[in-house]
Amino acid sequence: MSDLLANLNDPQLQAVTLPPQHALILAGAGSGKTRVLTTRIAWLISSGQCDPAAILAVTFTNKAAKEMLARLSTMLPINTRGMWIGTFHGLCNRLLRAHHRDAGLAQLFQILDSADQLAAIKRLLKTLNIDDEKFPPRELQHFINAQKEAGLRPDAVEAWDDYTRRRVELYREYEGQCQRESVVDFAELLLRSYELLERNEPLRRHYQRRFRHILVDEFQDTNRLQYRWLKLLAGGDPPACLFCVGDDDQSIYRFRGAEVGNMRDFEREFHVANVIRLEQNYRSHGNILDAANAIIRHNAGRLGKNLWTEQGAGEPIRVFEAFSDADEARWIVEEVQQLVRDGALRSDIALLYRSNAQSRVLEHALFSAGIPYRVYGGLRFFERQEIKHALAYLRLIANPDDDTAFARVVNFPTRGIGARSIEVLQDAARTYNTSLYATVPHLTGKPGTTLAQFVRLIEDLRRETARLPLPELVDHVLERSGLRDHYKAEKEGRERLENLDELIGAAANFVAESQADPEALAADHALLADFLAHASLEAGEHQAEQGMDAVQLMTVHAAKGLEFDAVFLSGLEEGLFPHENSILEAEGLEEERRLMYVAVTRARKRLYLSFAQSRMLHGQARYNLRSRFLEEIPEPLTRWLTPPKPRGNAATGFGGYYEPPRGAFATRPAAPAVPSRREEGGLHIGQLVSHARFGQGVIVAAEGSGANACVQVNFGASGIKWLKLAVAKLEPC
């Protein structure tokens, strides 16, 4: 027994040896929560308080469950194979398999993953002859899953309008299809398991008597239905002991339905007397932890804790202000190269960012430097679905006889061209020995009509873009192809739209680096083929092979649970991090701050924070305030790095540098005095203006002069933007 409890600090020991009562363990980042959970289970068994069959332990990933079982096997001389330790979905699947008849399921029911579920929804819409543009399959999938995770069957969903009523009907049809085919999706596993226990009293009492100790990992990530499921199992007479481990400061999955309020509800509803804080961190140096504590302290309603370490303060946090996002990426790559020269493994270095679209400029800098990298939990920029669709349209403009590109987008977005029409076209192409594009005029009937419309679209795009500069060409194609409208209609299409906009930035960056005459480049499609070749090379080269030492790239969300010796967090600007969609609501801003807390606490030894004075968006330079999160870090913890004297940057046109002041995040840097009314173009503060992309807005601030004159415009729904007058082409209204 003494060996089992060895090497535990006092709060860990207290948590592990608690008497059989409800307990809430607030486990800070790097505080050893997995050790506490596993040791608690081992202590309960070895001390004779319960046998292995009386324990139910819930995790959020299969990896965590396997790790827990492996540790238990080394700690105790028991067979862990039959223990109920797993994810919510895994445990619910086990329950439903054992009681499939009571649950109304076939014995060999199959589970639909997310892709399978989406395919099933598309098939349903096609069977019912439903317009999938009016009811986008991915949006309908999100709606159905949201209802299930809220514990609502179709009859219980409140429909406030005709559109919602129709979606509820489709939810009902989808349920019928799944029942006929003996399949269940992930959300159904939990909901049907809950319903089975709720209505079947003998079965519920059986499991309530069996599981005397219920332990929950990552409790802050539970949704409402998962919490209700836990309460149901713990609600016997006498009740089971709930041992919940979590960190409200790391709750970052609100968009998935996670309810950080479950922790406070648990404390209140179960009259939890034992709230233990694990605050000693075994991962990071003191400066990093002090910064994390200072940031998260600005959130209201926390359960409260303060991370500390015995490892010492360590190095200061390096903060870098770049002239542009390209300069920021170059600086990061130079620092990575220096770390590697000093003996660091590339795999111990992580480049984190708030939005997937930010990876493009980082990938380009790594590619240019010949540094192998791996995108963790996602695809490299040029491999993403929406980017490959956009590139396919661009390839057809450059070369209409590209059959691969033709086949990819001929019916994307959907335009009524079915598989049969494509088969007819392919057969005719073999007969005439021509490309798919060149074969279309030979077809008759419906296939000929629908395919001819697509060919006219490509011909129009080729004509309309013949004299456009490359960034404007890309922008025009994204709009006219229907790709933007398609992803706007998707419930979770915002990130794909951000990636499409970043493709315009990639084109602008390519033009800048080509050092060619912009006037000459606009004369025809001369540069397009070169850009497409560059995209293919960047997608295909420097792909880190399995086992290769490579720099890790990932979003902050993907980084949760990981740790690295050196962490670079880029793009710390208002509107980017915190994200503009979250700034206007208190809950959204607090979740962004928790996300920042997670990012900071990924670093073991070195933390680098950076932001840019200008960032390319839609092919234009955008000027943002630096993130409020930087202002929340105490100055003694940081070392602000000054960039070298500015070089003229063709990509952004930004020509001035200001010394980074420390002060309120909402202040702009010092700038030349600007009159409230501008003579040039008749623009002035308070002027109503129009922009081709953002619509109408009001000028609310101005700075700079001459070629560097910029204005801040409030575009309402499109947000507040800093625009360069020489580039933005604002029109007075």
Helical (H) or strand (E) element with 324: strand 317-324
pLDDT band at residue 647 under the 50/70/90 scheme? very low
pLDDT (0 to 100) of residue 101: 94
Residue 28 assigned ligand-binding role: yes
pLDDT of residue 546: 59
Closest CA to 292 of 558, 569, 613: 569
Residue 656 pLDDT exceeds 60: no
- 230-237's contacts with Cβ under 8 Å and 24+ in sequence apart are 230/58, 231/269, 232/194, 232/197, 232/198, 232/204, 233/56, 233/197, 233/207, 233/208, 234/208, 235/208, 236/205, 236/208, 236/209, 237/208
Model pLDDT, residue 420: 86
Between CA 469 and CA 593 the distance in angstroms is 40
Q: Would you call 615 a catalytic residue per the annotation?
A: no
Arithmetic mean of pLDDT, 215-243: 93
Give the pLDDT band of residue 509 (cuts 50, 70, 90).
confident
Q: What DSSP string describes 682-728?
A: G-BTT-EEEETTTEEEEEEEEE--GGG-EEEEE-GGG-EEEEEHHHH
Say if CB 355 and CB 555 are below 8 A apart. Answer: yes
**621 annotated as ligand-binding:** no
pLDDT score recorded for residue 697: 80
Average pLDDT over residues 179-196: 92
Q: Is 30 annotated as a binding residue?
A: yes
Q: Interhelix angle for 201-210 vs 224-234, to 10°?
A: 80
The pLDDT of residue 717 is 63
Count other C-beta atoms under 10 Å from residue 548's C-beta. 12
- Please compute the mean of the pLDDT values over residues 59-64 and round it to a whole number: 85
Q: Answer whether 110-181 and 317-378+543-640 agree in fold.
A: no
Q: Please state, in angstroms and rounded to a whole number, the distance separating the CA atoms of residues 197 and 256.
A: 24
Please give the pLDDT value at position 23: 95
Terminal Cα-to-Cα distance of the chain (whole angstroms): 79
pLDDT at site 516: 53
Q: Which of 149, 185, 188, 217 is catalytic?
A: 217
Confidence grade of residue 109 (pLDDT, cut at 50, 70, 90): confident
Q: Is 681 annotated as a binding residue?
A: no
pLDDT of residue 493: 81
Q: What is the pLDDT of residues 74-93, one digit of tens each?
A: 888 888 888 999 999 889 99
Provide the mean pLDDT of the chain.
86
Report pLDDT for 39.
95
Lowest-pLDDT range of 305-319, 332-346, 701-715: 701-715
User: Which pLDDT score is estimated for 61?
Assistant: 84
What is the Cα–Cα distance from 234 to 94, expressed in whole angstroms?
Answer: 18
> Is the pLDDT assigned to residue 519 strictly greater than 70?
no
Active site residue 530: no
Given 14, 17, 34, 177, which residue is catalytic?
A: 34
Confidence (pLDDT) at 727 = 74
pLDDT at 657: 30
Mean pLDDT on 376-388:
85
**What fold is seen in the domain 317-378+543-640?**
Rossmann fold (3.40.50)
pLDDT of residue 539: 66
CATH architecture of 10-101+211-231+239-280: 3-Layer(aba) Sandwich (3.40)
Q: In whole angstroms, give the CA distance from residue 169 to residue 273.
A: 46
Q: Is 667 a catalytic residue?
A: no
Nearest in space to 555 (alpha carbons), one of 588, 493, 599: 599
* Options 220, 250, 652, 712, the catalytic residue: 250
pLDDT at 675 over 50: no
pLDDT band of 482, cuts 50, 70, 90: very high
* CA dist., res. 556 & res. 535, Å (int): 25
List the catalytic residue out of 188, 218, 259, 321.
Answer: 218
Highest-scoring range by mean pLDDT, 275-289, 387-401, 504-518: 275-289
Domain positions in the chain are 10-101+211-231+239-280, 110-181, 317-378+543-640, 382-539, 687-732
Which one of 71, 354, 602, 724 is the catalytic residue? 602
Give the range among 155-164, 203-212, 485-494 with minimum mean pLDDT. Answer: 485-494
Find the range with the poorest average confidence among 205-219, 263-277, 666-680: 666-680
Check whether 655 has a pLDDT greater than 60.
Answer: no
305 annotated to a ligand binding site:
no
Q: Tens of pLDDT along 552-603?
A: 999 999 999 899 999 999 999 998 999 888 877 778 899 999 999 999 999 9
Band of residue 671 on the pLDDT scale cut at 50, 70, 90:
very low
pLDDT tier for residue 6 given thresholds of 50, 70 and 90: confident
Residue 549 neighbours by CB under 8 Å, 6+ apart: 345, 346, 347, 372
pTM of this prediction?
0.76
Residue with tokens 């990509």: 651
> Is 218 a known active-site residue?
yes
Residue 32, marked binder: yes
Cα dihedral 184→186→190→191 (10° resolution) = -60
Residue 29 counted as an annotated binding residue: yes
For residue 331, give the nearest of 713, 48, 710, 608 by alpha carbon.
Answer: 608
Beta-sheet strand order (sheet of 23-27): 84-87, 55-59, 213-216, 241-246, 23-27, 274-278
Residue type, 318: R
Q: Does 539 carry a binding-site annotation?
A: no
Region 289-306: mean pLDDT is 94
Give the 3-state secondary structure of residue 488.
helix
Regarding the domain with residue range 382-539, which homologous superfamily does it belong to in the CATH classification?
Answer: PCRA; domain 4 (1.10.486.10)
- Assign a CATH topology to domain 110-181: Arc Repressor Mutant, subunit A (1.10.10)
Do 619 and 472 form a contact (C-beta atoms < 8 A)?
Answer: yes
